[in-house]
Structure formats: structure tokens, C-alpha cells
Amino acid sequence: MTSETAYTATPQHQPEPVVALPKPSRLWLPIALVCLFWAVYSFMRWTEFGIGLGFMGFLIQLATVALVTLVFVVWWFSSRTMRLGDRFFVFGTAVLVGIGAAFLSDRGLLIFLLMLGLPLVLTAWTVGLLATRNQSPRVRRLVLVAAICLIWAAFPFFGSDGVGGDFQPTLRWRWQATGEELYQAELKRNAETAAPVLSQSVSLHPGDWSGFRGPNRDGEVSGVRIATDWNTTPPRLAWKRRIGPAWSSMAVVGDRVFTQEQVGDSENVVCLDAATGRTAWSHQDAVRHSDALSGPGPRATPTFADGRLYALGATGVLNCLDAVSGERRWSRDIAADAGAKKPMWGFSSSPLVVGDLVIVFAEGDSAKTLLAYKTDSGKPAWTASAGKLSYSSPQLASLDGVAQILFDSDQGLTAFDPSSGAVLWKQSTPPEGPGLPQSVQPQVVGKSAVLFDAGANTGLTRIDLSHENQSWTPTERWVSRQMKPAFNDYVVHDNAIYGFDGRIFTCIDLETGQRRWKEGRYGSGQVLLLADQPLLLVLTDTGEVVLVAADPDRHQELGRFQAIEGKTWNHPVIAHGRLYVRNADEMACYELR
């Protein structure tokens, strides 16, 4: 009997089966989603129409991110690009590492983890799928996980100082000192420096700049003529210094400059020597405001009147200070008085002094958002309902010879009696969708017409008022989407309005609201009118000063120079032939005459 030897094959390691990934044509949906986001992003960032959308464009971009992410995730789990377990593994890695990146990142950068981080991750994810379409599942897992982790891991290395006027993040290295930190170090080094000796009395004289946008809050400079050939006689730097972050502008009275700043956990009102920029005194409150979009610091501009300085901080502290010494006369908490919560961007109303009253706006849901206090004691005088939402400030106006306070908010333009707060008339505006609040000052033209911002999605509006006995009737003359000033101001000269339509400088006709020209990409800048020449001085949102002819027929630049560095949203000031500019990091003074 022949025996047969049975041979049993020794088990060998079987190679991992290669599951072919769908061809690129079958990856059309994730490719289309990624292309959709970057197309929307590019449109909002670089086209004139997208730039003009402002905050609405920012919201559209966020909505696009949400839609693209949702559809991508649904596609990922419903497709057969990888085995189900691998799909869960890659997705779980993306979520967990993203949460870790959010935990480790700068707090101010969190919104941009959603706004730009997710699209970058999805882009890397899609590229990884295309690059490994002929590779083994193991290689695919490694490539996808590595690409996703690499994108998320980059974010903790960056810090954010908020957004620019285009609502894109302003980034810096995480370890790079902020302007505020450099300023604090400088203050410690100069702690023993003696304060400058200034005049012992302060009163208003011609040429002074008493508060936000000038004596009339219209951005107009009178009684000053400057050199216009900046190639031959450029503005001369008088001084430049560091300053704490704030979006406040300045008041200039005599030999003093008043502004606000944030220094660590202290919100300060400061007085500087106009000739040298050295600090004469600083009043400090132990409060701090900061938000992801705009960064830290107060927003409002101090107001000078009758030897006193009135300053509103971002948390709602309203101070009345002695302008010579900085000693506090009285203080109020307008949030408590109005029953309001601090808005996302902080309280921003520059105080308005009318007679023996100082008036501010406290955003909120209460019926007393406009508040008047006695200038000598700080005692409440009256309150009124002026809307729930606004970044604007009260405006004193004279219409048909009658003094009134105008205020622009989400409820439209309202006129109040200065002595009692009673409503004289109101021009309602259409309800706005999501967007920036009304931010610019209403302006009277002629005896009985008013220009005002009807909302970021509506545009500038002109109304004409008729007045009979005690009755006022506003009539809409035009609404112009040819100029949507957002938070950029405008000026009026002769029969033309000069300002910003989104981020592009524009001129429209005062009588019709029709565009005359639109040129000059000055970002989210600000403008002053030198009425005597006439000239427009534009401060761009990158700190460059541009001189433009106030010509309704064409845009003509006469000169420009870089005044300060960094994001610049603060309104410029011209007083006694000197130009004062500042931002969240530095401040400078230039001789113009």
C-alpha cells in the first residue's frame, strides 16, 4: 500500500487587497464643493461687487463653509471611496484634531478656524483622495490623516488681531509680541520720565478739534490751507509714538491731544502734549474689552467742553474728567442705567455735549437707549428710545432753525428735543437683514435736508423736511445704493458727496444720489474735507494718507505718503495745520502747512 504524504501549505501573509478608488471623474462632487468655496471666497475678496457686500459678504462666506462641509460629510459616508471603518477613522481624526487645534489656538482665531480652516482641510482631503487613487487603503489612510493633521496643526502657530475692513483675518506669529505688549514694555522703561508742562487752563479757540469728526461732527476743516505739492513740500513728521489699542479718534484743544487706549486690564483716557506726543496725564479704569472681530480697546472718541473731558469706554463707563489734570469729576455706568448688556463690539457712542447735558447711546433692548446726564453732576436728565442697534453717535443739528438731536439706528433716523428727549419726528427704514449696524453720522444739508445711512444693504438716503407749527414731515428724496458707507464716513462739498461705497472711494450727486465717479481703492478708510481749498484728505485702512481733489467730475490724486503702519480704522484729525493719525499700535503728528 502506497502511502501518500499529505502536504499542508504553510499560511503565507496575503497582501492587502487593493480596492481601487473611484476615478477622478467620480470624485466630481468633492472637487466641485472645494471649487465652489474658493470661487465664493475669491469673489468676495477681489471683485468690486463682493467687496461692496461688506459684512453681508462675510456672512455669505460663513454660510458657504457650512453648506460645503455638510454636503462633503454626507458624500464621504455615502460614497465607497474607502472601507467604512477607514471612513470613520479619517473623519474622527479630522474632528478630534480640529477640536485640539481650537483648544490650542489663539482665542481671537477661533471663528477663522471655521471660516478658513475647514475649507483648507476639505481641500487637502480632496487632493489626498486624488493623489492616492491608485494606492492601497493603508497608504490612503496615512496620506489623508497626515494632510488633515498638517493643516489643523498650523493654526496654533498663529495669532489674530481681528479682521481687516474686508473681514479677512489679520494674522501674526503666535510668539510675536503684539503692539499692546510692546507698548506695555515701553511704559515700564519710561516709568520715571517726567510729564510735559502744559498750560494750566484749557478752552476752545478757532482751529481746535473738540471731539469726534470735529466741532460739527461732519469731518470738515475750515480756516486751514495746506501745501498740495507733496513731492516738493511733503508733510513733515513732528512726532510718532506707540499707543495702546483703541479705535477712538482724538480731540485737540490748544496744546493738548485727548484720546483713549487699552493697556492690559486698564482702559485709559490720556492727555498728550500736542507738540511732542508725550503723555501729560492718564486716567485709568480697571476694565477691558476685546472681541474677535475688532480686537481690544475702547471705540468712542472723547469730547471736550467747558474745561471738561467726557469719555465713554467700551464697557459702558462714562467719565467726566478735568481737562487740565485728568481728575475725575463724576462717572456713570451707562449699561446699568439703561439696563443694557455690553454689545459684542462694546459701547461706541462718542459723547455729545448740548448746553448743560451730555448725551450717549447705550445699545440694548430697553426703552431708554439714549441717555442724557447733567454735565456738572452726572445726574440723569432724561432717557429716550432710540433703537436697539447702532454704532453711530448722537448728532446735534439745526433744521429750519430748530435745534434737535439726530440719531441713526436700526429703527431709522429719529430727531429728539435736546432739552427733554421728546421725539420730534422719525424716518423709518426698511428692516435690514444681517449686516453691519448704522455707523456713520447723519448730516444736514441746506436748511431742511438730511443725509443718513439707511443700512448696509440699503445705502445712503436723503430726506427733505417740512415744518409747520410743531409738526414735522420727512419726505424721502432718494435712496442711493451708489454709496453704502458701512463704517466709513463721508463729506459734502458744493453739490457733491464724497465717501466710500464699500471699500472704494466714490462721488455721488447731492441732488439725485447718482454716481459721478468711483475710483480709489483706499480700503475701509476715512475722509476729511478741507473746505477752503477744496481738498479731500483720505486716511486708508493701512495707514496711508492720500490727498484728493474735491472735484465732482473726476477722481484726481494729488499726493500720498505712508503715515503709520498697520490696520487703521481711527478717524484722522486736522487742527492748527497739524495732521494727527493713529491706530491700535501707533500715533503720529505731521505738519501740513
Amino acid at 94: A
Q: What are the residue boundaries of the structural domains of the chain, listed by start?
A: 24-171
Q: CB neighbours of 567 closer than 8 A, spacing ≥ 6?
A: 161, 162, 164, 170, 541, 542, 583, 584
- The secondary structure of 422-465 as a DSSP string is -EEEEE--PPP-SSPPP-SPPEEETTTEEEEE--TTT-EEEEEE
Place of cell 503666535: 174
Place of cell 477691558: 288
Place of cell 470735529: 214
pTM: 0.89
C-alpha cell, 407: 440719531
pLDDT in tens, the chain (593 residues): 444 444 444 445 555 554 455 554 478 999 999 999 999 888 887 777 776 666 777 788 889 999 999 999 999 998 887 889 999 999 999 999 999 998 998 877 777 778 888 999 999 999 999 998 888 889 999 999 999 999 999 989 988 777 777 677 778 888 888 889 999 999 988 877 878 889 899 999 999 999 999 999 999 999 999 999 998 889 999 999 999 999 999 999 999 999 999 999 999 999 999 999 999 999 999 999 998 778 899 999 999 999 999 999 999 999 999 999 999 999 999 999 999 888 888 999 999 999 999 999 998 777 899 999 999 999 999 999 998 889 999 999 999 999 999 999 988 999 999 999 999 999 988 766 666 788 899 999 989 999 999 877 788 999 999 988 889 999 999 999 899 887 788 999 999 999 998 888 999 999 999 999 999 889 889 999 999 999 999 999 999 999 999 999 999 999 999 999 999 999 999 999 999 999 999 999 999 97
- The secondary structure of 484-551 as a DSSP string is --TT---EEETTEEEEEETTEEEEEETTT--EEEE-----S-EEEEETTTTEEEEE-TTSEEEEEE--
Could you tell me the CA-to-CA distances from 296 to 45, 97, 429, 465, 543 in Å, in that order?
Answer: 25, 29, 32, 41, 19
Any bridge partners for residue 321, and if so which? 309, 328
CB contact burial 438-458 (16+ within 10 A = b; e otherwise): bbbbbbbbeebbbbbbbbbbb
CA distance 561 to 570: 17
Place of cell 500715533: 587
The reported pLDDT for the residue numbered 555 is 97
The reported pLDDT for the residue numbered 203 is 94
Beta carbons of 105 and 113 less than 8 angstroms apart: yes
Taking CB atoms within 8 Å and a gap of at least 24, the contacts of 63-67 are: 64/36, 64/37, 64/40, 65/37, 65/114, 65/115, 65/118, 65/119
